[in-house]
Amino acid sequence: MIRTIDAEHFTQGWACPTCGWGVVTTYFPEIDVDATEYSLYIRNISIINVERIRVIAELASVNFLRAKEMLEKKEVCILKAKAPKIKEGIDKLKELNVDFIVKPFFKYQ
């Protein structure tokens, strides 16, 4: 049996290479069914620039002034959400080399 996964369409299937018999079923990636509420924190920011302020404002849903204040703190929570949204935030922070932590432990990095 050969297993194939089409994550874009949330399906997976198995097919026999000999007889062609197969079966298809629904498939949801683990990150999409994780019900845990995660918190994304930024910390130890030494360089504050416009790009970082813009990204923090977007992730935290705050204005630029509040985002700048958040960047000036030693550690602050900028987002509480489910795993897919946290993953998006992590990717944006990594692009800007912003130090962050996620609580509880986040295994989808």
Q: Where are the domains of the chain?
A: 2-32, 34-103
Our measurement of the distance from residue 103's CA atom to the centroid of its chain's CA atoms, rounded to an integer in Å, reads 13
Q: State the pLDDT at residue 45.
A: 94
Q: Mention the CATH class of domain 34-103.
A: alpha beta
**pLDDT value at residue 29:** 87
Q: What is the pTM of this model?
A: 0.79
Decide: 13 and 7 in contact? Cβ < 8 Å: no
Q: Are 24 and 36 in contact (CB under 8 A)?
A: no
Q: Would you state the pLDDT for residue 4?
A: 80
Q: Which of 5, 77, 67 is nearest to 41 (CA)?
A: 77
For the chain, which residues score pLDDT lower than 70? Answer: 7
What crossing angle do the helices spanning 50-60 and 64-72 adopt, rounded to 10°? 100
**pLDDT value at residue 36:** 98
